[in-house]
């Protein structure tokens, strides 16, 4: 894969926590597609089923899509971050008391190490975003995001083709890679012209993942 | 202060850990100005005296100055991050075993909460960097950095003026705010022309901190 590491998906990290959240569950709720997930200062939340998007804002109120949380994952707890959590598909959330969560972590050195690893993974991703922001060109970022979508959310069909249902909106793609919406349209159309993807209503088919990967590797830096 | 939050200094967060590092110290060392601080996978390090700079690299090897660590602070432990830690002035480092550090955290819920706060502070800063990167103009970033330097590392002299000794190199300032070196020279010269700062060999005097703050508040967004 390319030197551009862009993997805004939290996936399957929370298997070790699922038991805890089911056992100590205070409150369980279904969030409909497009609705916000409520976060509470004294509770930790867990995505048991579905897919969530995390938006963050800076002090000036500019909001940006930062990442996706896949099912079987704790929802990062940082109420102060100007964060908005939105269901990308219907999603099931479990809540436990914050004390139960903390007590679980301090119950063993291993649990703490798992917790640290999980936090560092997010922190590492965030750091990479800073380091890569002005280095990679806009099309590299868009191609890489589609490549990751295919790997993470895509379903294989015949001839090694991959279908991505629920393709994120152009607005969301622009937000997560840090570009304008018009660039998203432009570069996806380019991928279509050279036969790497095919757009259909609400979905995209990646016809040649290997060619997409090679294209990303050939991209030049922005500088 | 301005809506642009840029505070790349870890300061005095580690007072609660100092005892632990002194008590369990395995190894103590002095790092000369400009030299690298060694990090080990099985040890945690603590800056007891001095000032450190943390550089991070992306997968392509592009390095950037990310922040400063002031004395009485643990040195973030993430050996996998392509990180380089450099002494900005002669610095004293204490090392303890990783297990001792983890055991300290899990010894109470309060210690874990302090640890989480410390990690979140870094994570929050990093997140803000992503969110602000393309929003604030280059001069806002440079002015804000000098404002923070004055507050954190500056020493008050007569008439409310503030001296910043060991002014970071233009290269470091450019790296930390994400711009070119020529911009640093240009905007510091502008500050000098309007009488807000005065440059002397190896130091800078902020003559009017209030005026600098107002200037930052008046900056327009990049967009």
- Please tell me the distance from the alpha carbon of residue B13 to that of residue B191, in angstroms, as a whole number: 32
Domain of B146: which CATH number? 2.60.120.10
- Which of B60, B105, B106 is nearest residue A135 as measured by Cβ atoms? B60
Cα–chain-centroid distance for residue B68? 2
pLDDT reported for residue A58: 77
pLDDT reported for residue B130: 79
pLDDT reported for residue A80: 58
pLDDT reported for residue B16: 87
pLDDT reported for residue A167: 87
Token pair 């393309």 in the structure block, residue = B134
Q: Which of A130, A134, A66 is nearest to B54 (CA)?
A: A130
Q: Does residue B2 surpass a pLDDT of 70? A: no
Say if residue A168 is exposed, middle or buried (CB neighbours under 10 Å; 0-12, 13-18, 19+).
buried
Same-domain pairing of B21 and B124: yes
Q: Does residue A59 surpass a pLDDT of 90? A: no
- Which of A113, A124, A221 is nearest residue B102 as measured by Cβ atoms? A113
* A9-10 and A203-206 beta bridge pairing: unpaired
> A164 lies in which domain range?
138-218
Last-in-domain residue among B132, B147, B162: B132
Task: Give the A:B interface size as CB pairs under 8 Å.
Answer: 109
Instruction: Tell me if B223 is assigned to some domain.
Output: no
ipTM of this complex prediction, to 2 decimal places: 0.82
- Ramachandran quadrant class, A61 (left: phi over 0; alpha: psi -120 to 50; beta: rest): left
Same-domain pairing of A120 and A166: no
- CB contact under 8 Å between A178 and B131, yes or no, is no
Residue of chain B whose Cα is closest to the Cα of A106: B106
Last-in-domain residue among B132, B147, B165: B132
Last-in-domain residue among A116, A132, A148: A132
Same-domain pairing of B115 and B161: no
User: pLDDT tens, B57-86?
Assistant: 877 778 889 889 999 999 987 655 668 999
**Chain A environment of B123 (Cβ under 8 Å):** 78, 119, 122-123, 126
- CB contact under 8 Å between B123 and A78, yes or no, is yes
Instruction: Tell me if B212 is assigned to some domain.
Output: yes
pLDDT reported for residue B12: 67
- CA distances, A197 to each of A208, A210, B200 (Å): 7, 12, 59
Instruction: Tell me if B42 is assigned to some domain.
Output: yes
Q: Residue A76 in contact with residue A92, Cβ under 8 Å? A: no
**Mean of pLDDT values over A41-47:** 93
pLDDT reported for residue A221: 55
Q: Residue B203 in contact with residue B163, Cβ under 8 Å? A: yes
- Which of A78, A107, A112 is nearest residue B105 as measured by Cβ atoms? A112
**Mean of pLDDT values over A174-199:** 93
Same-domain pairing of A90 and A154: no
Token pair 């917790």 in the structure block, residue = A115
Same-domain pairing of B41 and B121: yes
Beta strands in chain B (DSSP E): 9-10, 27-31, 43-57, 63-70, 73-75, 83-97, 155-156, 162-165, 197-200, 203-206
- CB contact under 8 Å between A123 and B122, yes or no, is yes
**Mean of pLDDT values over A198-204:** 89
Q: Does residue B153 surpass a pLDDT of 70? A: yes
Instruction: Tell me if A89 is assigned to some domain.
Output: yes
Instruction: Tell me if B3 is assigned to some domain.
Output: no
Better-predicted residue by pLDDT, B196 or A160: B196
pLDDT reported for residue B223: 40
Q: Residue A155 in contact with residue A148, Cβ under 8 Å? A: no
**Chain B environment of A57 (Cβ under 8 Å):** 131
Same-domain pairing of B181 and B202: yes
Instruction: State the smallest CA–CA distance between residue B123 and chain A in angstroms.
Output: 6
Same-domain pairing of B14 and B119: yes
Q: How many domains, in total, are found in chain A?
A: 2
**Mean of pLDDT values over A34-47:** 93
- CB contact under 8 Å between A131 and B56, yes or no, is yes
pLDDT reported for residue A37: 94
Indicate the range of A11-15, A78-82, B204-208 predicted with least confidence: A78-82
pLDDT reported for residue B157: 93
- CB contact under 8 Å between B66 and A130, yes or no, is yes
Instruction: Tell me if A223 is assigned to some domain.
Output: no
For A92-112, b where at least 16 C-beta lie within 10 A, e where not — what string?
ebbbbebebbbebbbeeeebb
Residue B26's pLDDT band (cuts 50, 70, 90)? very high
Instruction: Tell me if B1 is assigned to some domain.
Output: no
Q: Which of B23, B30, B27, B31 is nearest to B43 (CA)?
A: B27
- CB contact under 8 Å between A78 and B120, yes or no, is yes
Q: Which of A67, A26, A64 is nearest to A45 (CA)?
A: A26
């Amino acid at each position: 894969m390319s030197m551009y590491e862009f993997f805004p998906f939290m996936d399957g990290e929370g298997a070790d926590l699922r038991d805890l959240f089911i056992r100590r569950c205070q409150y369980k709720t279904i969030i409909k597609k497009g609705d916000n997930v409520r976060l509470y200062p004294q509770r930790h939340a867990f995505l048991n089923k579905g897919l969530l998007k995390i938006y963050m804002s800076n002090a000036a109120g500019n909001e940006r899509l930062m990442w996706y949380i896949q099912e079987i994952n704790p929802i990062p707890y940082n109420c102060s971050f100007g964060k908005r959590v939105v269901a990308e598909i219907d999603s099931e959330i479990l809540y436990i008391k914050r004390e139960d969560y903390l007590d679980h972590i301090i119950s063993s050195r291993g649990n703490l190490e798992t917790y640290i690893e999980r936090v560092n993974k997010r922190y590492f991703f965030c750091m990479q975003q800073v380091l890569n922001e002005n280095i990679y060109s806009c099309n590299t970022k868009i191609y890489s995001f589609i490549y990751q979508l295919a790997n993470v959310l895509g379903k294989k069909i015949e001839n090694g083709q991959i279908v991505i249902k629920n393709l994120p909106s152009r607005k969301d793609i622009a937000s997560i890679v840090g570009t304008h919406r018009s660039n998203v349209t432009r570069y996806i159309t380019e991928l279509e012209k050279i036969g790497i993807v095919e757009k259909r209503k609400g979905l995209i088919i990646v016809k040649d993942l290997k060619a997409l990967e090679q294209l990303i590797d050939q991209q030049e830096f922005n500088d």
